């Protein structure tokens, strides 16, 4: 993979170098040619200028454009014509007119040949840069895993490269370290941040016998883990395989220009030959050469080469200002056919971090005192739920807590002013002999809304509840309503349980919910929906990367992991779902401009080629028409800036 990336980077650097050198040479050619035509200033005599232009244009066409000429000329031997064929034909014939001029008085187009190639090289650089980014998500996935592992061998702790870990090795993982490989906890207790894999914001408590996944992060306790999978068998390696598979099956659809060119090139070539023969029979050699060249010059693909990239450039710039980054141009075309939009829940529809949503107290204690006691206890814990409560309370002074304990998987306990307090789940309170039968109805009500309920007790008395949940983003409901009004089928997918998932879905107006989905199953669910039409997937976690690649259009949230961002065709830097609606509008408007540009790129040909064939259109005016077609395309693309998305 590293070798692959080096090849991609080398290709980008090569095209960039060709681009810079091509324009350094082409700009003086333009000055020489147009200073005489527009301002009437003869910088050089005609023969000297022809020689200078030929010398300057040679490296642009035959050195920097060699790979293009090679590919284009191959089209004439295989009879499969592409954009390179058109470029090769136009530039070589135009260049040869400069040489012929020394022997026969015809119009010189050798300078035009350099301009055409310089524009084409610019487009190839943009294309290679876009392709170079495509494989970065795999590279970043590979970088996620731990590089070394501390293992127990012969009673001693030794650090070894991850490649030397064997199945059955006991690995020691300290707080803050990555878990090197998949395994089972044989000793110790801790909570593990699995958000990189699951996408879920809350860490998972790990006890003896709990399974753990490589590349996840141990938080607050030492774990002794027996390795059960290594190398290509690990979960992370499996995710990488899924992303690679999805990349391989995604068929590029931006082939419209090539399809048109495959017909257009041989048609122009035949027409040019027929024009030459016709004028030899009914006219003279000079008219035959001039008219034939006029046909070829007017068909040179400057505008065709600009049609798509200039619209993409303008569309991308508009998107960037609004926090919409278009990473792959084909998404622009694909988006118009999308029927279903699938959303990951955590970090996409929701904020991705727990917040206090409800506080309910019983008896004489008021909410202020209740919150002060709760926050003072929770301040000593590193658990994200504890941090949510402390942040919500926002106290300046906390009460003194003694005998504090974290009860893994249950909650916490501590003493304040000689009174023992417990904060935790039902299991914790029931184990301490506290009867919750009077409160079950309230607990189940909050849990049905997808909230985590923590009961606070003093001794045997229940003081109240703290409810924490991953809250919905402010604009999620509005964005989903807009999409549904436009006729899109919206679906939510999550690894969460069905009750929590349906509670969130109800808040934002989604009726179709796919819950309790394992990370590796998300891409399969996308494939199932693709049987009914094109699917866009919106996500933010590592576990979303295969689904983002499998989807016809992957939309990644900018607040998500680097892997998800690299896997996305479109990235929303503001992480707002309103960005999804804007991205769809921008894609459709930009593709509309691409179609208009392709129309204008050929409109000049449709009008001007018959004039060139008939000898009415002088080669100089054919050259001007060709330039005007490019100007029209650029101007039309820039009108996109006035569009509201």
Active-site annotation holds for 205: no
Q: In what order do the strands lie in the sheet with 190-193?
A: 204-206, 190-193, 217-218
Instruction: Please tell me the total number of residues recorded for the chain in this structure.
Output: 645
Please report which helix (H) or strand (E) contains residue 470, including its range: strand 461-472
Determine the Cα angle at 159 with ends 154 and 163, to 5°: 100
Query: How many Å separate Cα 291 from the centre of its chain?
Result: 48
Helix axis angle for 110-134 and 136-144, nearest 10°, is: 30
Question: How many other C-beta atoms are found inside a 10 Å radius of the C-beta of residue 417?
Answer: 10
Backbone angles phi, psi at 638, to 5 degrees: -70, -20
Please answer whether residues 61 and 69 qualify as being in contact, where contact means their C-beta atoms are separated by less than 8 angstroms: yes
Helix (H, G, I), strand (E, B) or coil at 66: helix
Determine the Cα angle at 595 with ends 593 and 598, to 5°: 110
Query: How many Å separate Cα 245 from the centre of its chain?
Result: 17
Please answer whether residues 307 and 558 qualify as being in contact, where contact means their C-beta atoms are separated by less than 8 angstroms: no
The residue from 344, 442, 496, 544 that is catalytic is: 344
Cα R_g (the chain), whole angstroms: 33
Residue carrying structure tokens 């000898």: 615
Residues in CB range of 641: below 8 A, 6 or more apart: 314, 318
Q: What is the DSSP letter of 551?
A: S
Question: How many other C-beta atoms are found inside a 10 Å radius of the C-beta of residue 389?
Answer: 25
Task: Quote the CA–CA distance of 112 and 100 in Å, as a whole number.
Answer: 15
Task: Quote the CA–CA distance of 424 and 235 in Å, as a whole number.
Answer: 32
Backbone angles phi, psi at 315, to 5 degrees: -60, -40
Please answer whether residues 72 and 113 qualify as being in contact, where contact means their C-beta atoms are separated by less than 8 angstroms: no
Please answer whether residues 622 and 608 qualify as being in contact, where contact means their C-beta atoms are separated by less than 8 angstroms: yes
Where are the strands (E) in 547-627, listed by range?
Answer: 553-557, 570-572
* Tokens describing residue 140: 């970043």
Active site residues per annotation: 344
């Amino acid at each position: 993979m590293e070798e692959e990336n080096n090849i991609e980077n080398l290709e980008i650097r090569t095209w960039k170098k060709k681009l810079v050198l091509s324009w350094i040479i082409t700009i003086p050619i333009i000055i020489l040619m147009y200073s005489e035509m527009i301002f009437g200033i003869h910088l050089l005599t005609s023969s000297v200028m022809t020689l200078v232009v030929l010398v300057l244009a040679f490296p642009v066409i035959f050195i920097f454009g060699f790979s293009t000429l090679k590919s284009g000329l191959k089209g004439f031997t295989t009879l499969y014509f592409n954009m390179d064929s058109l470029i090769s034909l136009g530039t070589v014939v135009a260049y040869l007119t400069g040489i012929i001029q020394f022997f026969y008085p015809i119009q010189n187009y050798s300078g035009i040949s350099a301009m055409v190639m310089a524009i084409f090289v610019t487009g190839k650089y943009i294309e290679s840069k876009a392709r170079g980014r495509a494989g970065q998500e795999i590279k970043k996935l590979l970088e996620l895993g731990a590089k070394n592992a501390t293992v127990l061998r012969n009673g001693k702790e030794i650090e070894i490269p991850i490649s030397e870990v064997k199945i059955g090795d006991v690995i020691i993982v300290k707080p803050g370290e990555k878990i090197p490989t998949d395994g089972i906890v044989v000793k110790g207790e801790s909570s593990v941040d699995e958000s990189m894999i699951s996408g879920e914001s809350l860490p998972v408590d790990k006890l003896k016998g709990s399974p753990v996944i490589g590349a996840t992060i141990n938080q607050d306790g030492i774990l002794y883990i027996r390795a059960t999978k290594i190398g290509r068998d690990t979960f992370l390696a499996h995710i990488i395989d899924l992303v690679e598979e999805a990349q391989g099956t995604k068929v590029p659809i931006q082939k419209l220009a090539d399809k048109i060119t495959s017909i257009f090139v041989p048609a122009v070539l035949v027409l040019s030959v027929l024009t030459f023969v016709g004028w030899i029979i009914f006219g003279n050699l000079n008219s035959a050469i001039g008219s034939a060249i006029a046909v070829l010059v007017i068909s040179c693909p400057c505008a065709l080469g600009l049609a798509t990239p200039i619209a993409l450039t303008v569309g991308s710039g508009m998107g960037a200002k609004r926090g919409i980054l278009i990473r792959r141009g084909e998404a622009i075309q694909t988006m118009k056919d999308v029927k279903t939009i699938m959303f990951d829940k955590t970090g996409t529809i929701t904020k991705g971090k727990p917040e206090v949503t409800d506080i309910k107290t019983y008896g004489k204690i008021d909410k202020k005192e209740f919150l002060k006691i709760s926050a003072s206890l929770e301040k000593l814990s590193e658990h994200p739920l504890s941090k949510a409560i402390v942040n919500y309370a926002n106290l300046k002074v906390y009460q003194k807590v003694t005998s504090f304990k974290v009860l893994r998987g249950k909650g916490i306990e501590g003493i304040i002013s000689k009174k023992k307090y417990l904060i935790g789940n039902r299991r914790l309170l029931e184990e301490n002999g506290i009867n919750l039968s009077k409160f079950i109805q309230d607990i189940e009500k909050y849990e049905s809304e997808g909230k985590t309920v923590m009961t606070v007790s003093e001794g045997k008395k229940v003081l109240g509840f703290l409810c924490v949940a991953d809250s919905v983003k402010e604009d999620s409901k509005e964005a989903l309503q807009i999409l549904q009004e436009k006729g899109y089928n919206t679906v939510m997918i999550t690894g969460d349980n069905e009750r929590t998932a349906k509670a969130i879905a109800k808040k934002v107006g989604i009726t179709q919910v796919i819950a309790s989905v394992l990370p590796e199953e998300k891409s399969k669910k996308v494939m199932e929906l693709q049987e009914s039409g094109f699917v866009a997937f919106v996500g933010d976690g590592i576990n979303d990367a295969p689904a983002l690649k499998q989807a016809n259009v992957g939309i990644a949230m900018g607040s998500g992991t680097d892997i998800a961002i690299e896997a996305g065709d479109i990235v929303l830097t503001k992480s707002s779902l309103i960005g999804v609606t804007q991205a769809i509008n921008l894609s459709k408007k930009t593709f509309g401009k691409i179609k208009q540009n392709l129309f204008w790129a050929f409109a000049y040909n449709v009008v001007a080629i018959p004039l060139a064939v008939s000898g009415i259109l002088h080669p100089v005016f054919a050259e001007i028409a060709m330039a005007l077609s490019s100007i029209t395309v650029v101007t039309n693309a820039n009108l996109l800036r006035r569009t509201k998305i």
